[in-house]
Amino acid sequence: MTAQKQARSNCEMRAQDRHIVIAIDGPAASGKSSVARELAGRLGFVYVNSGAMYRAVTWDILRRGIDPRDHARIDNYLKRARIVCDLQNNESRILINDIDPAEHLRDDNVNNSVSLVSSVLRLRQILVEKMRYYVRDYDLVMEGRDIGSVVFPDTPFKFYIDALPDVRLRRRAAEGQRDEIANRDHADSSRRASPLVIAKDAEVIDTSNLSIQGVVSKIAARLRKKGLRVAGPREARQPLL
Summarize as ranges the residues that interact with ligand CDP (CB under 6 A).
28-29, 32-33, 50-51, 54-55, 114-115, 118, 144-147, 184, 188
Q: How far apart are CA 44 and CA 52, in angstroms?
A: 21
Nearer of residues 165 and 231 to ligand CDP, judged by Cβ: 165
Is the Cβ of residue 24 or residue 223 nearer to ligand CDP in the bound state?
24
Looking at beta carbons only, is 83 or 231 nearer to ligand CDP? 83
Nearer to ligand CDP, 196 or 223 (CB): 196
Is 16 buried (19+), middle (13-18) or exposed (0-12) by CB count in 10 A?
Answer: exposed
Minimum distance, C-beta of residue 156 to ligand CDP, in the bound complex (Å): 19
Q: How far is the CB of 240 from ligand CDP (least distance, A)?
A: 27
- DSSP one-letter string for 155-216: -SEEEEEE--HHHHHHHHHHTT----HHHHHHHHHH-SSS-----TTPEEEE-TT--HHHHH
Select 66 or 231, whichever has its Cβ closest to ligand CDP.
Answer: 66
Q: In this complex, which beta carbon is closest to ligand CDP, that of residue 30 or of residue 217?
A: 30
Query: In angstroms, what is the minimal distance from the CB of 124 to ligand CDP?
Result: 7
For residue 16, the minimal CB distance to ligand CDP (Å) is: 28
Q: Do residues 231 and 238 make contact, with C-beta atoms less than 8 angstroms apart? A: yes
Phi, psi torsion values for 82, nearest 5 degrees:
-100, 105
Nearest to 46 by CA among 143, 156, 139, 148: 139
Q: Among all residues, whose Cβ is closest to ligand CDP? A: 51
Beta strands in the chain (DSSP E): 21-25, 46-49, 83-88, 91-96, 140-144, 157-162, 203-206
CB 112, min distance to ligand CDP, A: 11
Instruction: Please state the closest distance from residue 17 (CB atom) to ligand CDP, in A.
Output: 25
Q: How far apart are CA 199 and CA 191, in angstroms?
A: 16
